[in-house]
Structure 1
Amino acid sequence: MTKILAMPNAKLKWIQAYSAGVDYYPLQQLAKRNVLLSNVSGIHAEPISENVLGMILSFYRGIHTAATHQSSGQWTIPDHQLETIAGKKWSFLEPATLAAELPSWPPRLTSQLPG
């Protein structure tokens, strides 16, 4: 890209970054040459949201502890009351794309169940 930007007759119009962050691009040079720079911010919001939801369910339902015990051949009763996530209030300290994706999950999950 540096070589292309150095060419006086270059006709570069647009760059698609394969990341959300673009601070490593020569932003001043691109702006000076009116080159459009796009990123992929939010493209991974759904799979990351699935992982977050999976971890939340794992901890609320004790799945992580059960899996650890199972792998070592232990079958024990949980030492605390297992909870459900229904009716819980959530706060996200994550990017807006992730926080926007998670609240839509329960309807999407339940609407895909057969029967």
Structure 2
Amino acid sequence: MRTCLVVDDSSVVRKIARRILEELNFQIIEAENGERALEACRRAMPTAVLLDWNMPVMDGHQFLLELRRLPGGDLPKVVFCTTENNIDHISRALEAGADEYIMKPFDRDIITDKFHEVGLIAAATPA
């Protein structure tokens, strides 16, 4: 089964993302910061990562840099999901290895479209 690691310090955001991604047939792993997310990736590399930028302990950008250095860390599709919308943040995310970037708040259609764009789902699933 495909797995998605949802990394966000907000339990509400993780819960919403879980509900959407489970409907898209992903098994969900949650982490509240980049450090915990790295621990999860060392145990089992996910298929996808939905990643917040601003978190305590280790932010999303640092997590992504570390992820891409791990054995197999080049494989997960990483979609940043954040309130940071300036071009500098977007550029830094893509340079660090993000596959796509979405803004909060998000909904099922936005996640479905982005996961389709990066090849995680075969076609946009109707709501």
Please state which band the TM-score falls in when normalised by the shorter chain. Answer: under 0.3
TM-score (norm 2): 0.23
TM-score (norm 1): 0.25
Higher strand share: 2
Flag the structure with larger Rg. 1
